[in-house]
Structure 1
Amino acid sequence: MPRCLAAPISTLLLAGALALVPSGCARNPVTGKNELSLVSESQEIEMGKQSAQQVEQSIGFYADPQIQAYVSQIGMKMAKASERPNLPWEFHVVNDASVNAFALPGGFIYVTRGLMTAINDEAELATVVGHEIGHVTNRHSVQQISKSQVAQLGLGLGSILSSDVARVAGLASQGLSVLFLKYSRDAENQADKAGFRYALNQNYDVREMASVFQTLDRISSLEGGGGRLPEWLATHPNPGTRIQNTEARLDTLSRSLSNTVANRDVYLQHVQNMAYGEDPRQGFFEGGTFYHPDLRFQLTFPQGWKTQNGADAVVAVSPQQDAIIQLSLAGKASPQEAAQQFLSQQGIQPGNTSSSSVNGLPAASGYFQAQTEQGTIQGLVTFVSYNGNTFGMLAYTPQGKLTTYDGAFRQAMGSFSQLQNQAALSVKPARVELVKLPREMTLEQFNAQYPSSISIEELAIINEVESPSTAIPQGRMVKRVTGGRKPAG
Structure 2
Amino acid sequence: MKRLGICAVLLLTQVALSCVRNPATGKKQFSLVSESQEIQLGQQGAEEARQSIGLYDDAKVQAYVAQLGKKLLVHAQRPNLPWSFQVVDDPSVNAFALPGGPVFVTRGILTYMNSEAELAGVMGHEIGHITARHSANQLSKAEIAQVGLGVGSIFVPQVAQLGGAGLQLLFLKYGRDAETQADELGFGYMLQAGYDPRQMGDMFVTLQRVGEAAGGGLPEWLSTHPDPGNRLQKTEQRVAALNRDLSGLAVDRDTYLAMVDGMVFGEDPRQGFFRGQTFYHPSLKLKLEFPPGWKTQNTPQSVAGMSEKQDALVGMSAAGKLSPEQAAQKFFQQEGVRQAAGASQGDVNGLPAVTSYFEAQTQQGAIAGIVSFVSYGGATWQLVGYTSAQALQGYDSTFRHFITSFGPVTDKSVLDVQPARVKLVKLTESMTLQQFQQRHPSTIPIEQLAIINGVKATDSIPAGTTLKQVVGGPGPAVSSGSGASGAAR
- What band does the TM-score fall into relative to the shorter chain? 0.7 to 0.9
- Residue number in structure 2 paired with 1:217: 208
Q: Does 1:195 align with 2:186?
A: yes
Task: Give the Cα separation in 1 of the matches to 2:295 and 2:166.
Answer: 20
Shift of 1:365: 2.4
Contact 2:151 2:160 in 1 (8 A): no
Range 193-202 or range 308-317, more displaced: 308-317
Task: Give the Cα separation in 1 of the matches to 2:116 and 2:324.
Answer: 49
Shift of 1:181: 1.6
Say which of 27, 32, 41 aligns to 1:38. Answer: 32
Within 5 Å, give how 1:392-471 maps onto structure 2: 392-466=382-456, 468-471=457-460
- Residue number in structure 2 paired with 1:368: 358
Within 5 Å, give how 1:113-128 maps onto structure 2: 113-128=107-122
Q: Secondary structure, in 3 states, of the residue corresponding to 2:469?
A: strand
Q: Secondary structure, in 3 states, of the residue corresponding to 1:308?
A: strand
Q: Secondary structure, in 3 states, of the residue corresponding to 2:304?
A: strand
Task: Give the Cα separation in 2 of the matches to 1:377 and 1:389.
Answer: 27
Which amino acid is the alignment partner of residue 320 of structure 2? G
Which amino acid is the alignment partner of residue 270 of structure 2? R
Range 125-134 or range 248-257, more displaced: 248-257
Q: Does 1:322 align with 2:316?
A: no
Within 5 Å, give how 1:128-143 maps onto structure 2: 128-143=122-137
Shift of 1:102: 1.2
- Residue number in structure 2 paired with 1:3: none
Pick closer, same or farther for the CA change 1:231–1:37 going to 2, 3 Å. same
Shift of 1:22: 4.9
Range 286-295 or range 384-393, more displaced: 384-393
Structure (1 or 2) with the larger CA radius of gyration: 2
Q: Secondary structure, in 3 states, of the residue corresponding to 1:446?
A: helix
Say which of 210, 225, 236 aligns to 1:236. Answer: 225
Say which of 181, 193, 199 aligns to 2:172. Answer: 181
Structure 1, gaps ≥5 residues long: 1-20, 160-164
Which amino acid is the alignment partner of residue 230 of structure 1? P
Shift of 1:247: 2.5
Task: Give the Cα separation in 2 of the matches to 1:229 and 1:458.
Answer: 15
Within 5 Å, give how 1:46-445 maps onto structure 2: 46-146=40-140, 149-154=143-148, 156=150, 174-223=165-214, 230-352=219-341, 353-445=343-435
Q: Secondary structure, in 3 states, of the residue corresponding to 1:302?
A: coil
Which amino acid is the alignment partner of residue 167 of structure 2? L
Task: Give the Cα separation in 1 of the matches to 2:90 and 2:160.
Answer: 23
Pick closer, same or farther for the CA change 1:117–1:401 going to 2, 3 Å. same
Pick closer, same or farther for the CA change 1:391–1:37 going to 2, 3 Å. same
Q: Deviations over 1:33-52 (max 9, x none)?
A: 22222333233223333333
Task: Give the Cα separation in 2 of the matches to 1:263 and 1:307.
Answer: 40
Q: Deviations over 1:336-377 (max 9, x none)?
A: 332333333223343123332211222222323334444433
- Residue number in structure 2 paired with 1:476: 465
Contact 2:41 2:147 in 1 (8 A): no
Pick closer, same or farther for the CA change 1:78–1:22 going to 2, 3 Å. farther
Q: Secondary structure, in 3 states, of the residue corresponding to 1:252?
A: helix
Pick closer, same or farther for the CA change 1:92–1:391 going to 2, 3 Å. same
Task: Give the Cα separation in 1 of the matches to 2:141 and 2:436.
Answer: 52
Q: Deviations over 1:438-489 (max 9, x none)?
A: 11111111001000011111111101113x2222121111101000101349
Range 118-127 or range 88-97, more displaced: 88-97
Q: Secondary structure, in 3 states, of the residue corresponding to 1:327?
A: strand
Identity of aligned residues (%): 54
Q: Secondary structure, in 3 states, of the residue corresponding to 2:280?
A: strand
Q: Secondary structure, in 3 states, of the residue corresponding to 1:307?
A: strand
Contact 2:262 2:422 in 1 (8 A): yes
Task: Give the Cα separation in 1 of the matches to 2:336 and 2:239.
Answer: 57
Which amino acid is the alignment partner of residue 139 of structure 1? R
Task: Give the Cα separation in 2 of the matches to 1:385 and 1:376.
Answer: 29
Q: Secondary structure, in 3 states, of the residue corresponding to 2:87?
A: strand
Contact 2:51 2:301 in 1 (8 A): no
Pick closer, same or farther for the CA change 1:56–1:264 going to 2, 3 Å. same
Task: Give the Cα separation in 1 of the matches to 2:424 and 2:369.
Answer: 50
Task: Give the Cα separation in 2 of the matches to 1:176 and 1:276.
Answer: 25
Structure 2, gaps ≥5 residues long: 1-14, 154-158, 479-489
Which amino acid is the alignment partner of residue 444 of structure 2? I
Q: Deviations over 1:319-341 (max 9, x none)?
A: 33332212222322222332333
Shift of 1:177: 1.5
Pick closer, same or farther for the CA change 1:238–1:328 going to 2, 3 Å. farther
- Residue number in structure 1 paired with 2:486: none
Task: Give the Cα separation in 1 of the matches to 2:234 and 2:452.
Answer: 23
Task: Give the Cα separation in 2 of the matches to 1:348 and 1:453.
Answer: 49
Shift of 1:140: 1.5
Contact 2:290 2:305 in 1 (8 A): yes
Task: Give the Cα separation in 2 of the matches to 1:314 and 1:224.
Answer: 28
Aligned length: 458
Pick closer, same or farther for the CA change 1:314–1:154 going to 2, 3 Å. farther
Shift of 1:128: 0.5
Task: Give the Cα separation in 2 of the matches to 1:295 and 1:398.
Answer: 32
Contact 1:157 1:311 in 2 (8 A): no
Which amino acid is the alignment partner of residue 191 of structure 1? A
Which amino acid is the alignment partner of residue 280 of structure 2? Y
- Residue number in structure 2 paired with 1:9: none
Contact 1:344 1:350 in 2 (8 A): no
TM-score scaled to structure 1, two decimals? 0.87
Task: Give the Cα separation in 1 of the matches to 2:426 and 2:36.
Answer: 49
Shift of 1:198: 0.5
TM-score scaled to structure 2, two decimals? 0.87
